[in-house]
Chains A and B, each alone.
Chain A
């Protein structure tokens, strides 16, 4: 065979010999062995380091070479004033190893460092002596951009200035300290929102960190790649900082002169559910949310255990307006009446007789006027806040209908306001709503509501029956100011008809004009409203929650105000709504001109400029002579 092949080879082109085949087979075996070894290596990596490496994959976030921080979104009020923002600051990092690489560096670098940032030369020298190999020593945190730029200018001019670099970081600041503190909330470690919109919109406000990492490319050059951070989105609140600060000022003024366990005020736009202002008790400083010194003396703080301090802080941070519930009292009466009117159980011109008390389920339940109001119209029943008339109406409705309307007005469930910590209140079960309980419920006792529930439901009473979800954020903007999401008013349901709403508006007006809410009057304004004085449990303690809920102007409702004062301490007025009505009146007088509503009988200086700027000038020039003629 071999000889045969040799003969052939002479005639034919050169061939791949058997010897070559053997060597090719050897090469193949080597390749096979290598690949088999690599396969073993793969299995080994999985077996030996599998668990440890798997964990590291999960721990990656802190494992990257360096992080480029994102900027958390800004929070604006409805007019674009900055309420919360993240400012870039710099950490000064000393790279001792680089600093000491050459003696040429030492003097100019030291001089630049000390002259710009005001460090003590001996101090730096001590660090360099102690840790000559350290490449990451934080000299100072939170340095401003001005100094950093000054240093970099020196470093650019002198190539011997070395060994210092800067790390970016963001610090959250609140320019108005305590303004709207319970709506805004604060952040922990810069980007974990706690309370307020900071918590509710935490994910939207936060962005994604970028990274800088090094790796070797195919030519073994060290490549530094920076993936830029994606900044968070900004929020535009419905809160008007001017209105909010005026409301806060009045509440503070009240707290200075009077004592009470809680106080809360909400101002809302009934036509879209926007909350314009919301404050409760004393606001806390968002820049120092953990500072207890404004509330307690240093000795008291020192005496507190950690848990006690924590509880004290939680009490301070708590938003009374949405987290606390109470029995609403007489401010609830309009809801009972609205339900009866809707179901045609009573007529607007119907009359009621009040003997001063009613006997319900064996209990004698007194009216606020124990000697009786006598004959009253329905409007007068609201004006004088008559309990007897309301108990009659409650009985007409019956427990099923009563409960159904309570729920329709949003009581007993969360309103869905975009703030954390909302409570849903407590309603009585239908089966527990016996004759007595129905009677007391009809004038707002024996169930619990929150302020935001009352205010939102009241909006629907005065705006023609449209229940809007209350909210504090109206717009989400991207990093560069473009609108990402416009939050439209959410119409949850229709509660009552226009006729009922109109009737109630008139009754509210009469109540302020000549009824129990007379102290809520503000000269020149059409104000309507209803007072409330609820007796707290246990009834024998004679503690009250006094409140006023109002609307302005009654001919075209633009704003509602709800003021609640829990357990005011006062000899004369503790069981009357006097504090709530006067406080509301004072607030309204101050804020209404800022809201663009001016008293009647005076000249309206307000000119509605058209939004299109191109025509503004023309119209202005036309308008001025006309006005002077008038």
Chain B
């Protein structure tokens, strides 16, 4: 691994390492996201709220809060999350785990309804919190901790099932309201365990079983099988409107796009273009060239996370980086796949770029954790 050698060579000179290239990448992505949100939402915001910068300002507020918070998190030693608190003798990670379960249970019964689903908790009059987003951080930290305690147990199927038992109830609660986030959570757990384990075979078996279960689930639950029909007959199914519009947007972009701000499809044709479908407008305005450039940036970000995972001070830090890496990879792949109608429709945001305060905050906190891991990389590791 040449890159690692280069990185470690750098480390020899730098005393306290900090992954500035990752920090820069994150900031770039967030700013690009703001531009695209303004481009996609200004028409509708002007139309319905008479204020073209409404969505931009909201998202910018979250970004302005999130980036300093990320830097703050990155300066905190990530080990404190798994060490017992001095007086009450409980690990913060378990407090977070319990909190997530309580919030998820709460939201199931008493959540605020936005877009027809109950998954928000109103915090005062200004902000609302999405517990399912918070759960992602919780699962990354928890799984990383369990693996850290005894990595060897994962070499047997029992170790994996032990982790599964921790994650399954949470994922189940999330799945009730938000299937795609549950899929992301399961993928996190599965991916982290896979990386930590020496075995491959039983993962392949589990993977196949999961796919079989998913297919059964889709076929058995009625309205979700309509989704398959939409996926297969995108041009004819009446309910495929949103995806069909996204495809029109992608196809009309061509090689270099119609130019930033010139999208036709965002003018009311793609519903909520600033949300899940933002990638289609990127394709329309910046073309295949721009879209692939964005995908390359995501790849670069994921690669940086791999490098940090490989060089982390200890297994705990590595697993946190692996978790974050899988989280971002899965969301990017699923989002782009939905927009291009490569998989059946499901609601999932494009990290850093799609509109959404909770989602952006959680991603920035995760990045803060990874930066914190990178901050503790010791140069003598390979020395």
* B and A form one assembly: yes
Contacts of A214 in B (CB 8 A): 238-239, 241
Complex Cα distance, B250 from A10, in Å, reads 54
A16 at interface, CB cutoff 8 A? yes
B248 and A56: CB pair below 8 A? yes
| Residue in A28, A39, A215, A219 whose beta carbon sits within 8 Å of that of B302 in the complex | A28
If A21-B310, A217-B347, A220-B347 touch, whether A38 touches B295 (CB-CB below 8 Å) is yes
B298 at interface, CB cutoff 8 A? yes
B86 at interface, CB cutoff 8 A? no
B271 and A215: CB pair below 8 A? yes
B265 at interface, CB cutoff 8 A? yes
Complex Cα distance, B195 from A49, in Å, reads 39
Complex Cα distance, B224 from A591, in Å, reads 73
A38 and B336: CB pair below 8 A? yes
Q: Counting chain B CB atoms within 10 Å of each CB, which of A19, A42, A52, A53 scores highest?
A: A42
| Residue in A16, A28, A53, A219 whose beta carbon sits within 8 Å of that of B115 in the complex | A219
Complex Cα distance, B300 from A32, in Å, reads 10
B137 at interface, CB cutoff 8 A? no
If A50-B251, A54-B251, A219-B115 touch, whether A24 touches B315 (CB-CB below 8 Å) is no
If A216-B345, A217-B116 touch, whether A16 touches B315 (CB-CB below 8 Å) is yes
Beta-carbon contacts of B330-352 to A below 8 Å, as 1s and 0s? 00110011001010011110000
A34 and B315: CB pair below 8 A? no
A45 and B247: CB pair below 8 A? yes
B119 closest partner in A (C-beta): A219
Contacts of B265 in A (CB 8 A): 57
Contacts of A217 in B (CB 8 A): 115-117, 347
A23 at interface, CB cutoff 8 A? yes
A221 and B250: CB pair below 8 A? no
Complex Cα distance, B283 from A41, in Å, reads 12
A207 to chain B, nearest CB (A): 14
Contacts of B269 in A (CB 8 A): 57, 60
B271 and A35: CB pair below 8 A? no
B223 closest partner in A (C-beta): A220
Complex Cα distance, B327 from A112, in Å, reads 57
B337 and A16: CB pair below 8 A? no
If A45-B247, A49-B247 touch, whether A220 touches B227 (CB-CB below 8 Å) is yes
Complex Cα distance, B354 from A142, in Å, reads 46
A42 and B242: CB pair below 8 A? no
Q: Which of A186-227 contact B (CB under 8 A)?
A: 211, 213-223, 225, 227
B292 at interface, CB cutoff 8 A? yes
Contacts of A27 in B (CB 8 A): 191, 194-195, 322, 325-326, 329
B287 closest partner in A (C-beta): A46
A362 at interface, CB cutoff 8 A? no
Q: Which of B240-254 contact A (CB under 8 A)?
A: 241-242, 247-254
A32 and B299: CB pair below 8 A? yes
A216 closest partner in B (C-beta): B345
A502 to chain B, nearest CB (A): 55
B315 closest partner in A (C-beta): A14
B179 at interface, CB cutoff 8 A? yes
Complex Cα distance, B294 from A38, in Å, reads 12
B178 and A218: CB pair below 8 A? yes
If A13-B316, A38-B336 touch, whether A220 touches B342 (CB-CB below 8 Å) is no
A227 to chain B, nearest CB (A): 7
A12 at interface, CB cutoff 8 A? yes
A42 and B340: CB pair below 8 A? yes
Beta-carbon contacts of B171-207 to A below 8 Å, as 1s and 0s? 0000001111000000000010011111000000000
B315 and A220: CB pair below 8 A? no
Contacts of B255 in A (CB 8 A): 46
B318 and A219: CB pair below 8 A? no
B253 closest partner in A (C-beta): A46
Contacts of A25 in B (CB 8 A): 1, 306
A220 and B115: CB pair below 8 A? no
B56 at interface, CB cutoff 8 A? no
Chain B: residues with Cβ within 8 Å of the partner, total of: 73
Query: Which secondary structure dominates where chain B touches chain A?
Result: helix
Beta-carbon contacts of B251-293 to A below 8 Å, as 1s and 0s? 1111100000000110011010001100000010000100110
Contacts of B345 in A (CB 8 A): 216, 220
| Residue in A13, A19, A211 whose beta carbon sits within 8 Å of that of B315 in the complex | A13
A42 and B291: CB pair below 8 A? yes
Contacts of B230 in A (CB 8 A): 216
A495 to chain B, nearest CB (A): 47
| Residue in B238, B247, B292, B340 whose beta carbon sits within 8 Å of that of A53 in the complex | B247
A20 at interface, CB cutoff 8 A? yes
A344 at interface, CB cutoff 8 A? no
B264 and A219: CB pair below 8 A? no
B252 and A15: CB pair below 8 A? no
| Residue in A14, A220, A223 whose beta carbon sits within 8 Å of that of B271 in the complex | A223
A39 and B227: CB pair below 8 A? no
A45 and B115: CB pair below 8 A? no
Complex Cα distance, B235 from A53, in Å, reads 10
A221 to chain B, nearest CB (A): 4
A211 and B268: CB pair below 8 A? yes
Complex Cα distance, B237 from A215, in Å, reads 11
| Residue in B115, B179, B313 whose beta carbon sits within 8 Å of that of A223 in the complex | B115
B318 and A222: CB pair below 8 A? no
Complex Cα distance, B340 from A172, in Å, reads 44
A43 at interface, CB cutoff 8 A? yes
B312 at interface, CB cutoff 8 A? yes
A65 at interface, CB cutoff 8 A? yes
A31 at interface, CB cutoff 8 A? yes
Q: Counting chain A CB atoms within 10 Å of each CB, which of B248, B306, B346 scores highest?
A: B248
Q: Counting chain B CB atoms within 10 Å of each CB, which of A27, A54, A221 scores highest?
A: A27
Contacts of A21 in B (CB 8 A): 1, 310
Contacts of B346 in A (CB 8 A): 218, 220
If A35-B332, A41-B340, A221-B116 touch, whether A24 touches B298 (CB-CB below 8 Å) is no
Beta-carbon contacts of B306-323 to A below 8 Å, as 1s and 0s? 100110111110110010
B148 at interface, CB cutoff 8 A? yes
Contacts of A45 in B (CB 8 A): 247, 250-251, 340
A34 and B180: CB pair below 8 A? no
Complex Cα distance, B5 from A261, in Å, reads 100
B342 and A38: CB pair below 8 A? yes
| Residue in B198, B254, B268, B325 whose beta carbon sits within 8 Å of that of A19 in the complex | B198
Contacts of B28 in A (CB 8 A): none
B32 at interface, CB cutoff 8 A? no
Complex Cα distance, B291 from A38, in Å, reads 10
A239 to chain B, nearest CB (A): 36
| Residue in A16, A52, A222 whose beta carbon sits within 8 Å of that of B312 in the complex | A16
B303 at interface, CB cutoff 8 A? yes
B159 at interface, CB cutoff 8 A? no
A218 and B239: CB pair below 8 A? no
| Residue in B227, B310, B348 whose beta carbon sits within 8 Å of that of A16 in the complex | B310
B151 at interface, CB cutoff 8 A? yes
A478 to chain B, nearest CB (A): 16
Complex Cα distance, B252 from A60, in Å, reads 13
Complex Cα distance, B275 from A215, in Å, reads 13
Contacts of B325 in A (CB 8 A): 27-28
Beta-carbon contacts of A270-307 to B below 8 Å, as 1s and 0s? 00000000000000000000000000000000000000
A14 to chain B, nearest CB (A): 4
Contacts of A215 in B (CB 8 A): 239, 241-242, 271
List 12 extra interface pairs beyond A38-B342, A46-B254, CB under 8 A: A23-B194, A23-B195, A27-B325, A28-B306, A42-B292, A46-B251, A53-B250, A54-B248, A219-B115, A221-B116, A223-B116, A227-B268
**What would be 29 A-B contacts, judged by CB atoms less than 8 Å apart?**
A13-B313, A14-B148, A14-B314, A21-B1, A24-B306, A27-B191, A28-B302, A28-B325, A31-B329, A35-B332, A38-B337, A38-B340, A38-B342, A46-B254, A46-B255, A50-B251, A52-B251, A57-B264, A214-B239, A215-B242, A216-B239, A216-B347, A217-B116, A218-B117, A218-B178, A219-B116, A219-B117, A219-B179, A220-B345
| Ranked 9 nearest A-B pairs via Cβ | A218-B347, A53-B251, A215-B242, A13-B314, A16-B318, A219-B117, A14-B315, A221-B116, A31-B329
